[in-house]
């Protein structure tokens, strides 16, 4: 009886997640009340959140596979009702996944969503002792199941220290890219136009998560850094010192070596509500170096003033660096 009850409960969760997804993406109507009710349902249990996230992720992948999306009406020509849209959605997921694992991915013993605000820093410890360290303004979703450990990096930057287990792969999804742990400590930074993966220890496999770019697959080893943009993947090497300095945010500092002032300012602005501004392009091209506390914007501005012979103007919550 318990097994039958669990199966029924799982089916209810799956059905509810499908209904919410279809309503949000395909109904054309979504009110503030719908948003409030959806959020209440989402936080009621980890099973709700994980079921929905998995569907949302698969829907996004299917949306990118335009050929499959165009075939959806043939799979389910009757799309006038909510039920028919659910059938089409589930049929589309079966096509995307090759018919495998459609039920299993709803079995989620542990999951959660974690985020940091601007300037925030947080460490998430998984059941097996693996750790995920979140940098400023970062959001991740975690789903731990029997045989799988998945993380979605929705935005920001995270440092992963993973206990490798061949029987339970650890995979990070970031945009169109998938990073698979092969015994590793690594950092992933996701910006709007690019993805950066740097391996500190061990190695990872990096490839497109939708399977569409088989040529863009790389095995990254300690000291290697991959930069993935639309349709391009490049790999370079960095010294241990350089990697350590790039991870200075874990210690609360930023280090620059002959960095363009505009780029250093942009990096500081990732962490602070008090923002720096460089309005003169010629000033932005000046180079600066040094190690600075992340949270001390004024100290950095004063250093730019002294080192580069510039002026600073404070206006409310902004510091303008100028000549």
How many whole angstroms separate alpha carbon 212 and alpha carbon 5? Answer: 39
Confidence (pLDDT) at 46: 62
- Return the domain boundaries, the chain: 2-106, 110-241, 252-322
Could you tell me the CA-to-CA distances from 38 to 23, 168, 184, 228, 231 in Å, in that order?
10, 31, 37, 34, 35
Is it the case that residue 142 has pLDDT exceeding 90? yes
Contact 179, 204 (CB under 8 A): yes
Q: Which of 117, 89, 113 is nearest to 25 (CA)?
A: 89
What fold characterizes domain 252-322?
Answer: Phage tail protein beta-alpha-beta fold (3.55.50)
Kind of pairing between the strands at 318-322 and 275-277: parallel
179 C-beta neighbours (distance < 10 Å), count: 27
pLDDT category at 43 given cuts 50, 70, 90 is low
Give the residue, 203 or 15, on which the prediction is more confident. Answer: 203
* pLDDT tens profile 220-269: 999 999 998 877 889 999 999 999 999 999 999 999 999 999 999 999 99
What fold characterizes domain 110-241?
Answer: Jelly Rolls (2.60.120)
Confidence (pLDDT) at 100: 35
Give the residue, 92 or 312, on which the prediction is more confident. Answer: 312
């Amino acid at each position: 009886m318990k097994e039958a009850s669990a199966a029924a409960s799982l089916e209810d969760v799956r059905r509810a997640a499908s209904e919410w997804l279809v309503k949000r993406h395909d109904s054309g109507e979504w009110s503030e009340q719908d948003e409030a009710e959806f959020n209440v349902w989402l936080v009621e249990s980890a099973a709700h959140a994980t079921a929905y996230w998995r569907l949302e992720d698969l829907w996004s992948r299917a949306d990118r596979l335009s050929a499959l999306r165009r075939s959806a009406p043939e799979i389910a020509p009757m799309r006038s009702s909510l039920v028919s849209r659910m059938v089409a959605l589930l049929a589309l997921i079966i096509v995307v996944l090759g018919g495998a694992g459609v039920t299993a991915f709803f079995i989620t013993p542990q999951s959660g969503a974690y985020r940091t605000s601007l300037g925030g820093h947080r460490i998430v410890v998984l059941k097996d002792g693996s750790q995920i360290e979140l940098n400023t303004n970062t959001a991740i979703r975690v789903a731990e199941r029997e045989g799988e450990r998945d993380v979605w990096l929705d935005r920001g930057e995270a440092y992963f220290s993973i206990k490798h287990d061949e029987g339970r792969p650890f995979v990070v999804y970031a945009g169109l890219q998938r990073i698979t742990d092969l015994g590793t400590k690594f950092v992933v930074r996701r910006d709007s136009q690019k993805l950066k993966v740097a391996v500190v220890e061990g190695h990872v496999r990096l490839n497109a998560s939708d399977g569409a770019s088989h040529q863009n697959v790389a095995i990254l080893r300690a000291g290697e850094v991959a930069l993935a943009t639309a349709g391009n993947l490049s790999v370079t090497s960095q010294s241990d010192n350089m990697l350590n300095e790039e991870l200075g945010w874990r210690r609360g500092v930023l280090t620059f070596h002959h960095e363009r002032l505009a780029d250093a300012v942009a990096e500081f602005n990732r962490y602070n509500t008090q923002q720096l501004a460089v309005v003169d392009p010629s000033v932005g091209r000046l180079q600066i170096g040094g190690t600075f506390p992340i949270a001390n914007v004024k100290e950095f501005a004063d250093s730019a003033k002294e080192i580069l012979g510039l002026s600073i103007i404070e206006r409310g919550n902004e510091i303008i660096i100028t000549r």
